[in-house]
Amino acid sequence: MIYPVVWQNNSVCLIDQTRLPNEYAVVEINSSQEMARAIKTMIVRGAPAIGVAAGYGMYLGAREIETSDRQEFLYHLDKVAELLGSTRPTAVNLFWAINRMLKTAQNTPGTVEDIKQVLWQTAQAINNEDLQTCQAMGDHGLKVLPKSPAKLTLLTHCNAGALATAGYGTALGVVRSAWREGRLERLYADETRPRLQGAKLTAWECVQEGIPVTVITDNMAAHCMQRGLIHAVVVGADRIAANGDTANKIGTYSLAIVAKAHNIPFFVAAPFSTIDLALSDGSQIPIEERNPEEIYQVGDTILTPSGVEFYNPAFDVTPAELITAIITEKGAFPPGELGGV
């Protein structure tokens, strides 16, 4: 099993996702500053994994605060929350975890040392709960996948696997469960320009577990569907609005459109910590814009002539009407019904 965020010897060990698949390296994180940098630079990435990392980041920040005065401690903990919250804007699990840690601190009676102890337990709980949540999602996903053919070919986008969660994965968790139950023929993985999470991370995870995987470039998905190669699409999510509109890695929206055009079911797998009921629809979801270098440079090679401009949104929003069902730890729901669950 792959665990991207592990508490070990009083520090957090992160699998460095910027180096995979060529190098498996673990980075040791000892402070909230280091955790903020790791999230920002995508050493750890994927909505639930960012939430787990932020939980530990809050504890590391709490550990650094040297006061026995409760109010002063809570004031400084707010600053840690601000630092971690400024790293990436779209994945709501980041803010969900930070707020859970802040509320825990505010509601815990006793000394500052007592609060720190409870914060550590809460960070551990966020990690453990996410793992169980992903396994439950895998089981619920199995129930809604097409019944025929007996062995399915699924398509996914970006990485929504163990690396993007506490372990097991959201969309890739459904794929793992299908593989375990003998219902998976093969996974097609979009390479996912510009950061190539599909080609680098999803493919790596599949190879680790012997899941047959075919990597395609993003612009090949429609062709594969037209040729009858894909039975269903399963993707993860970074933030889901109350009406079911779903932000996920850039390219997800076009995938949903082509799936609809070919009458292929399109599933989103995400835990409730990814659902933001405060937002009525997807137009309110903040979309991260990243460095244009991600588009024009591969290694040391510059791909484009000088003098052109770039636009590099990291996520897009898939309207709820293009989504067949949202698979959560509580079951699979039509997107419009999430608010009532």
Catalytic residues: 238
* Cβ proximity to ligand MRU, 77 vs 250, nearer residue: 250
Amino acid at 85: G
* Cβ proximity to ligand MRU, 73 vs 333, nearer residue: 333
* Cβ proximity to ligand MRU, 93 vs 243, nearer residue: 93
* Cβ proximity to ligand MRU, 77 vs 158, nearer residue: 158
* 319 cis-preceded (ω within 30 degrees of 0): no
> In the chain, which ranges are continuous DSSP H helix?
32-40, 47-64, 70-85, 92-107, 112-144, 171-180, 197, 203-209, 221-226, 252-261, 293-296
Q: Which tokens hold the place of 26?
A: 């673990």
CB of 287 to ligand MRU, least distance (A): 11
Q: Which of 57, 48, 52 is nearest to 164 (CA)?
A: 48
Residues across the chain: 341
Residue linked to tokens 């509320």: 103
Q: Which residues contact 121 (CB under 8 A, 6 or more apart)?
A: none
CB of 5 to ligand MRU, least distance (A): 13
* Cβ proximity to ligand MRU, 38 vs 47, nearer residue: 47
Contacting positions for ligand MRU (CB under 6 A)? 45-48, 91, 158, 160, 164-165, 170, 197, 236-238, 248-249, 314
133: left (phi over 0), alpha (psi -120 to 50) or beta: alpha
What is the Cα–Cα distance from 323 to 331, expressed in whole angstroms? 15
What is the Cα–Cα distance from 167 to 336, expressed in whole angstroms? 28
How many Cβ atoms are within 10 Å of 12's Cβ, its own excluded?
A: 26
How many Cβ atoms are within 10 Å of 2's Cβ, its own excluded?
A: 16
What is the Cα–Cα distance from 140 to 107, expressed in whole angstroms? 34
CB of 48 to ligand MRU, least distance (A): 5
Q: Which tokens hold the place of 320?
A: 């709820």
Q: Is the dihedral of CA 21, 130, 53, 288 positive or negative?
A: positive
Is the distance from CB of 124 to CB of 59 less than 8 angstroms?
no
* Cβ proximity to ligand MRU, 140 vs 249, nearer residue: 249
CB of 50 to ligand MRU, least distance (A): 7
CB of 161 to ligand MRU, least distance (A): 7
Is the distance from CB of 234 to CB of 174 less than 8 angstroms?
yes
* Cβ proximity to ligand MRU, 127 vs 165, nearer residue: 165
CB of 211 to ligand MRU, least distance (A): 16
CB of 74 to ligand MRU, least distance (A): 30
